[in-house]
Amino acid sequence: MMYCYLNGQIMPTDNASIKLNDLGLLRGYGMFDYFRTYNSQPFKWDWYWQRFEQSAHTLSLKLLLTQTEAAAIVSELLQLSGQVDAAFRFVLTGGYSPDSVRVIEPNLAIICENLRTENAVLYEKGIKILPFEFVRDLPEIKTTNYLNMIRLAAEMQSQNASDLLYFKDGEVSELTRSNFFIFKGDTLITPNRHILQGITRRVVLGLATAHFKVEVRPLLYSELAEADEAFTTSSIKWVLPIVQIGRQLIGDGAVGHRSKLLLELFKKETELL
């Protein structure tokens, strides 16, 4: 059985519930973060916590836990799960509101979830994604607004695609839940704006500098035609190769050796904890 923390109490997740007047539910006023452990330790925990704190600050939501208190809860939930590793979802909402507008006291949940990993075949074959004209509002915050991702799930499935690539005014930003990179030769390029500052993105950029030229800058949609490789990064996807965007093949449509190298480097990084 999996457990969660909700507003001061630890309980089986199946028993946890929130009332209907929560502003996350009624108004989409909520944010979250998501990370996993390796060898029972939260990976890059400091960075995740900082991002969570910053997002809470931007939404003017009080965080009623310190990092140390949160770490103790994460540790307890992992033990209760009986598993070596797990994923954790932090959810902070505007809380219960008397008039469905005013924030009184946030609701905070820390949910311990079974680890999900991508199908190993995808790392060999790469994925197809679909371009979608959109830019997230407040992209620097991991808000709970994922309308497009869910609304277009059937369309993606019908086109055998795994995700959407957001672009707007000719500029590429990110996938629905992960960051985006391309290689032009030995130059690695990733957008610098209209994105969530992903933790895996940050790790990969750090690893890449020893092997490639790195450019963090606005990336034009038109540049995709010149890309030799492309991939996406997230805490669950690691470095997942992208071989097709809409009808356009990336490079020769096969997974490239540079993306493979970054995937190997990232895996090593997680094992080194």
The Cα–Cα gap between 212 and 233 comes to 17
What is the CA 37 to chain-centroid distance, rounded?
Answer: 15
Of 94 and 126, nearer to its own copies (C-beta) is 94
The total of other beta-carbon atoms located within 10 Å of residue 71's CB is: 14
Residue 112's region, left for phi above 0, alpha for psi from -120 to 50, else beta, is: beta
Contact set with its own copies (CB under 8 A): 4, 6, 13-14, 16-30, 32, 58-60, 89, 91, 93-94, 99-103, 109, 111, 116, 134, 137-138, 143-151, 153-154
- Listed in order, strand segments (DSSP E) in 121-162 are 127-133
Burial of 98 (0-12, 13-18, 19+ CB in 10 A): exposed
Tell the smallest beta-carbon distance from residue 120 to its own copies (Å): 18
Nearer to its own copies, 177 or 258 (CB): 177
User: Residue 154 or 272: which CB sits closer to its own copies?
Assistant: 154
Q: Which is nearer to its own copies, 6 or 205 (CB)?
A: 6
Residue with token string 């490639």: 212
- Contact by Cβ (8 Å): 262, 239: yes
Nearest approach, Cβ of 116 to its own copies (angstroms)? 7
State which residue, 95 or 256, has the beta carbon closest to its own copies.
95
Nearest to 87 by CA among 74, 96, 99: 74
| Residue found under tokens 């004209």 | 133
Closer to its own copies by Cβ: residue 22 or 174: 22
DSSP state of 137: S
Shortest separation between residue 118's beta carbon and its own copies, angstroms: 12
